Amino acid sequence: MIFDQLLPFLKKSEFLNLYPFLDDRNIIRVGGRLNNADIAYDIKHQIILPPKHHLTMLIIKAKHLRLLHAALQLLLASLRLKYWIPRSRKVIRSVIHNCVTCFRFKASSANQLMGQLPKHRVEFSRPFLNSGVEYAGPFQIKYGNPRRKITTKCYVEIFVCLATDAIHIELVSNLTSQAFLAALRRFTARRGHVANLYSDNGTNFVGANNELNSLRKLFHDKEFNTDIENYAAKSQLKWHFIPANSPHFGGLWEASVKSMKYHLKRVIGETYLTFEEFSTLLSDIEVIPILDLFLLYPITLAIHLT
């Protein structure tokens, strides 16, 4: 070892604690206590490279490309099999940051700041006084003789309270204005008068799927709109449509549909239920969010709900 020869030059160097020495080719290497280890010479005594030198940058870039744009940890482990670079993480991070390919693939899209919540989402009100409505489906149910395997389609209509996020679920037999209004009447009979009802615009249902087209046609149907207007006028209900092609305006009821399907798929799987069984299961799903609260605070919740 020629550590003593290098000592005058290394007294103020950051390499001093590495116990460097010059090999037979006058390359500065890391010292240590691994002379008797049965490993490669380069691994026992790595070549010391200055962190800011151009050659160091070229070696790191070449290794980065050789490892198919490896990330920091893999690149560092590979380099240390032969080289020792002080402050290596900082240097490698700068090389990866300046790699155009890595920068492009790590680029994140801009996140638009969301607008203010509507008034009905943040003001105190009676549950379901201001609500949103959404269709889900179709689902297959069986009918007729229990031994017969005749199935038909049905749909789920979900009402969401804008103030409390509570949900009310109704099973609908078909896509007609009469079935829709019947479910709406059942909803208002149980939950009370609705002052404002929000729903998707019909153009949100445009898609390749025939069922999405059926939903779109339902919301664009003149008879449907006439029936809704007449019912809204009689019951003093104000109907609001969110802007076209903006489903994020209806995120509240979209999330409710996702939650409903989460439980539904895990319970029935591929099983076909009857209309009554399906309706009962939806009622069980409807009460899940407050089921545990009833067990913990039965008296307090009963007072608030009444």
Domain ranges of the chain: 3-106, 119-305
Stated as kind and residue range, the H or E segment containing 238 is strand 238-241
- Please tell me the distance from the alpha carbon of residue 57 to that of residue 286, in angstroms, as a whole number: 61
- Please tell me the distance from the alpha carbon of residue 212 to that of residue 206, in angstroms, as a whole number: 6
Contact by Cβ (8 Å): 79, 73: no
Residue bearing tokens 């539904």: 264
Residue scoring higher pLDDT (137 or 73): 73
Stated as kind and residue range, the H or E segment containing 22 is strand 21-22
pLDDT band (50, 70, 90) for residue 233? low
Strands (E), 58-195: 83-84, 130-142, 151-161, 167-172
Contact by Cβ (8 Å): 168, 191: yes
Contact by Cβ (8 Å): 228, 194: no
Between 137-141, 244-248, 258-262, the lowest mean confidence (pLDDT) is in 244-248
Q: Which CATH number fits the domain 3-106, given the four candidates 3.30.750.24, 3.40.50.300, 3.60.21.10, 1.10.340.70?
A: 1.10.340.70
pLDDT band (50, 70, 90) for residue 224? low
How much is the pLDDT for 289?
A: 59
Q: What is the pLDDT of residues 93-130, one digit of tens each?
A: 999 899 888 888 887 777 777 777 778 777 888 888 88
Neighbours of 135 (CB within 10 A): 23
- Please tell me the distance from the alpha carbon of residue 163 to that of residue 124, in angstroms, as a whole number: 7
Look at strands 130-142 and 151-161 and give their pairing: antiparallel
Q: Which CATH class is domain 119-305?
A: alpha beta
Average pLDDT over residues 193-201: 79
Number of helices (H), then strands (E), in the chain: 14, 9
Is the whole-model pTM more than 0.75? no
Stated as kind and residue range, the H or E segment containing 199 is strand 196-199
Between 15-19, 54-58, 211-215, 242-246, the lowest mean confidence (pLDDT) is in 211-215
**Mean pLDDT: which of 33-37, 97-101, 232-236 is highest?**
97-101
Amino acid at 25: R
**Mean pLDDT: which of 157-161, 180-184, 272-276 is highest?**
157-161
Average pLDDT over residues 26-49: 82
Average pLDDT over residues 240-255: 73
